[in-house]
Structure 1
Amino acid sequence: MDVADELMALERELARGGADEYARVLHDDAVVVVPGAVLDKPACVEAMAGSPGWDEVELGDPRLVESGAAATVVYAFRGERGPTTYRATISSTYVRDDAGTWCLLHHQHTPEAAVTGHAAPGPTQLNLVVADVARTAGFYRDLGWDVGDAVDPHAEIRFDGLSVELDESSSVRFWNSGSPAQDAAATVLSIHLPGRDDVDAVWSRMTGLGHESRQRPFDAFFGSRFAVLVDPDGHQIGLISPRSDAHRHDPPEPAPT
């Protein structure tokens, strides 16, 4: 195995691993540069202990630069977590310790600028038409969302880059003259949870509070643990875990009832 293969094997291990792998591979004087932070070894290990990890990763062919006892690999990285795809150019510099083992001294991400073919901005607001704002707000508070106080049959739930807004059907005519009669469609608004057990835990808590379920938790063909709740107006709320190759299966089978 040549040097590039040795170092890329370590990079793949780190990309798929967590705190233990970083604690073992990082040099004691390591510097890790990621978007928004410059971390030393203890801080990096702590951050990885709280990270949900990637659902899928892809590492491109490396460019190797060697200088004395140090070697650097530079390559393209793609990581997927739930609906998010992260692309970056990664540069990792390794040095050998006294025993001849490679240790990661410097690791840096240069994120790739997002490139899309969209001719219009992405969605920033989702309006759910409901029969009773207070009742529906209670459902989403039970779910764990911070719902603002209702004002003129309207309440807002704000996230980073997205606002979910609850509007009573009686008020919709004031801003959408062509709105059809209230009818929750087959659309599913999904929440990505950090782990498979979290899907079962949230579903059990919500159904225990008396909220309706459309789909009990199960291992879906695409590799996620998945379940569907329904709010008081019939809007479907999906609960989805990160995907796992070990739980994928094909061909798909009907979801269990």
Structure 2
Amino acid sequence: MTPRFAVIGLVASDLAASLAFYRRLGLDFPAGSETQPHVEAALPGGTTLALDTEDTVRSFHPGRRLPAGGGGRVSLAFRCDSPAAVDAVYEDLVGAGHHGELKPWDAFWGMRYAVVHDPDGNGVDLFAPLPGAGE
């Protein structure tokens, strides 16, 4: 049997802040997830985004060293409905206090693109094809 990619796992230093961030992007985590050690949201296409607290990870892997000062090693990408939606989602997240890494711009590869950071410093790309760019 061939392994099948199924889960993206992130370690959250502040689970409530991470949940609020990803809920703003439309992910559906169960009510009360803020008090859980591990939570999951189903993603389109059958994959799952899983968030674990640092304490949860340490409980089964006490020797694991988590990067100081947050993430930056993982990047997730969210497709928006239109180039204008990239701008709107970026402004919503930055307006809510999240770090805007790259303001929306028309990328040379034919997409409107922007990058924000989640509460742990992981890059979250926002993109949509530009009109006439094809797919």
Sort the TM-score into its range (normalised by shorter chain).
Answer: 0.7 to 0.9
Residues 177, 216 of structure 1: alpha-carbon distance in 2 compared, 3 angstrom cutoff: same
- Which amino acid in structure 2 is aligned with residue 136 of structure 1? S
- 1:202 counterpart SS class: helix
The alpha carbon displacement at 1:244 in A equals 4.9
In 1: Cα distance, 2:21 partner to 2:116 partner: 10
Matched, 1:192 2:92: no
- Residue 25 of structure 2: aligned partner: 143
Alignment of 1:1-257 (within 5 A): 120-148=2-30, 149-150=32-33, 152-160=36-44, 161-176=46-61, 179-182=64-67, 183-242=70-129, 244=131, 246=133
Identity across the alignment (%): 33
In 2: Cα distance, 1:244 partner to 1:223 partner: 8
- 1:145 counterpart SS class: coil
- Which amino acid in structure 1 is aligned with residue 81 of structure 2? P
1:179-211 Cα shifts (integer Å, max 9, x gaps): 332341333200111211110011111112222
- Which amino acid in structure 2 is aligned with residue 225 of structure 1? R
The alpha carbon displacement at 1:144 in A equals 2.3
In 2: Cα distance, 1:211 partner to 1:194 partner: 21
The alpha carbon displacement at 1:177 in A equals 5.2
1:13-39 Cα shifts (integer Å, max 9, x gaps): xxxxxxxxxxxxxxxxxxxxxxxxxxx
In 1: Cα distance, 2:77 partner to 2:58 partner: 28
Consecutive unaligned residues of structure 1, counting only runs of 5 or more, are 1-118, 248-257
Residue correspondences, number: 129
In 1: Cα distance, 2:54 partner to 2:48 partner: 18
The alpha carbon displacement at 1:245 in A equals 5.0
Q: TM-score, normalised by structure 2?
A: 0.82
- 1:123 counterpart SS class: coil
Instruction: Give yes or no for contact 1:222–1:243 (8 Å, CA) kept in 2.
Output: no
In 2: Cα distance, 1:227 partner to 1:198 partner: 11
Residues 152, 243 of structure 1: alpha-carbon distance in 2 compared, 3 angstrom cutoff: same
Residues 178, 240 of structure 1: alpha-carbon distance in 2 compared, 3 angstrom cutoff: farther
Consecutive unaligned residues of structure 2, counting only runs of 5 or more, are none
Q: Which moved more, 1:205-214 or 1:224-233?
A: 205-214
Higher RCO (CA 8 Å, separation ≥ 6 residues): 2
- Which amino acid in structure 2 is aligned with residue 193 of structure 1? C
The structure with the greater share of residues assigned to strand is 1
